[in-house]
Amino acid sequence: MATSRAGYAATSEERHRERMQRKKELIDRKIARATVERGVLVVNTGNGKGKSSSGFGMLARSLGHGLRCGVVQFIKGSFSTGEEAFFRRFEELDYHVMGEGFTWETQDKQRDIAAAQAAWAVAARMLADPDYDFVLLDELNIALAHRYIALDDVLAATAARPERQHVVITGRGAPDALVEAADTVTEMRMVKHAFKAGIKAQKGIEL
């Protein structure tokens, strides 16, 4: 009986190795075919949590590689966040918090539009500058959804950006045309959220 179990274990291990070998060969072929090297446009959208967090994770990677980076935060701005406190220490990073707060807080549409337009002017400058290797436009989708910024301007600027510049755009409600133009799109789906159970936003999680 012991021999039978040992034999079964050996056969199972052999099958596992064969599956992993086939998988490795498939992945290796895909890697070999991926020969294009250029900047990518990434869009993080959806109602779930994690859109900005993912963008700042890519920012950390870029800074870790010594890349010159820029951040423009739309909408946000009425309260400080942990990412702002952390990332401002990096000399390779140009960080701008340009929002006036969420629309239900400001209750002033013209002020919101002016803030979004000012933020876009900074963002457009970064997108045209080859010195920036990575640009994060946090919550830009919200400004687009409210039509504070012209979608055509964003599509034109991202299309004309330097060839090797990476751009990440976050925020729920990404326009279809932006999704179509992007190289990588992730839609965050909310399954549960602590706020719905009455748990307040807290440092390190939301702030």
Query: Domain coordinates of the chain in residue numbers?
Result: 1-35, 38-197
C-alpha span between 93 and 63 (Å, rounded): 8
Confidence of residue 105 (pLDDT cuts 50, 70, 90): low
C-alpha span between 122 and 96 (Å, rounded): 8
- How high is the pLDDT of residue 66? 96
The dotted CATH code for 38-197 is: 3.40.50.300
pTM equals 0.82
C-alpha span between 44 and 51 (Å, rounded): 5
CA distances from 46 to 69, 78, 101, 139, 171 (A): 25, 23, 20, 12, 7
Confidence of residue 79 (pLDDT cuts 50, 70, 90): low
Beta-bridge partners for 44: 170, 186
Helices (H), 65-107: 82-87, 103-106
C-alpha span between 57 and 134 (Å, rounded): 12
Q: What number is the average pLDDT over the span 137-157?
A: 96
